[in-house]
Amino acid sequence: MFEKPLGMRDTLPNLYETKQHVRSALETEMKRWGYQFIATPALEYYETVGTASAILDQQLFKLLDQEGHTLVLRPDMTAPIARVAASKLLNENLPIRLAYSANLFRAQQREGGRPAEFEQVGVECIGDGTVSADGEMIALAVSVLKESGLKNFQLSIGHSGFVKELFVQILGNEERAQELTKFLYEKNYVGYREHVKSLPLSSIDSQRLLAFLNLRGGMEVIGKSLDLIENEKGKEAILELQELWNIINDYEVANYVKFDLTLVSHMSYYTGILFEVYADNVGFPIGNGGRYDGLLEKFGRSTGATGFAIRLDRLIEALGEIDETAPVECILFSSERRKEACGLAKERRIAGNQVVLQDISGVKDLDACTKKYSDVTFLVGKAGKEPVK
């Protein structure tokens, strides 16, 4: 057997069909919301898109072009779209709504069987700084997932601006805030609590930081977080979430949504509202999104943007069903009746059937061959005979 590089997978017919089916459900719904699909190259410059992408450096597949520039296989689509939006589409009126379905590449650190190439279907809404745009992301995410047939799923919404403001307010500077945020990234709440207790803080501030870990749930989280935050920017963040909640209710998707202000993302470019998508039966998030107002600036254009992406492989795992491939029929012919066979095949293909046209002299094992197809027609021997089924 010939081996594939670590983490690379073949997609065989059944899975291919399932992917196509699910992808098309997502794409159709995104188009209904006015998003236009684009494609970008698989290879980008390491210096620009590679460093902007927020994926760990050791997860990047790197190579050199003929001139010695370092290239990366794109590890996400947000950075390439930001690059496009800052350049080619510059003349277009903002906001613009773009969508993609693309294969991404991230080298895996452990357990080589995990996919290092996977497909994401997502959208980016560029140049709209309103909370309405954030609400649209959440409503659209819910809508595409429902269209795909997914039943039990949940979106958890956080706000990276709130976390930053709260930590800076209490700890005094960004460096100390980052130190504490690291525990959130690592999901290490034991370490977080120990760190808070080790800091020379007033008991009120210490309590606030510990209470922060409980800011999860429904609408009531808004009130609780307003009790913790004192500075204006932090309060603004909470007002954004308040407005977002109203928007989500107008879209009638509130029962899919919860707040979780402890949510932080490894995608460091998120600046405001961010969210993750979870489903039953899959141990990993099936999608994520959020606002990234600073990213376009890296490509020379200062404007806000928000978006989300669904991981197709994990969504399919959550759906739990692999489509059966559509039935394929076969016409076996011998050369004297080839013309007749071609005619029949054409006719049936026009009728929408999937038809294999096979010269019988190319078949080694007739039984095995006929078993493969849903229906077999023999056009063999002298012309003029009725087709035998």
Footprint of other proteins on this chain (CB under 8 A)? 152, 154, 156, 187-191, 216-217, 258, 260, 276, 278-285
**Edge-to-edge strand order for the sheet containing 36-37?**
36-37, 96-105, 117-126, 305-311, 287-291, 273-279, 153-159, 257-260, 216-217
The alpha carbons of the chain give a radius of gyration, in whole angstroms, of 27
d(CA 95, CA 302): 13
d(CA 298, CA 211): 36
- Nearest distance in Å: CB 216, other proteins: 6
Beta carbon nearer to other proteins, 31 or 187: 187
- Nearest distance in Å: CB 154, other proteins: 6
d(CA 99, CA 121): 8
- Nearest distance in Å: CB 99, other proteins: 25
Beta carbon nearer to other proteins, 236 or 260: 260
Beta carbon nearer to other proteins, 190 or 351: 190
Residue with tokens 């998508």: 277
- Nearest distance in Å: CB 221, other proteins: 12
- Nearest distance in Å: CB 28, other proteins: 27
CA 316 to chain centroid, in Å, comes to 12
Identify whether the C-beta of residue 9 lies closer than 8 Å to the C-beta of residue 115.
yes
Beta carbon nearer to other proteins, 187 or 346: 187
Beta carbon nearer to other proteins, 49 or 221: 221
Beta carbon nearer to other proteins, 194 or 347: 194
How far is residue 349 from each of residues 118, 329, 334, 356, 373, measured CA to CA in Å?
33, 10, 20, 10, 15
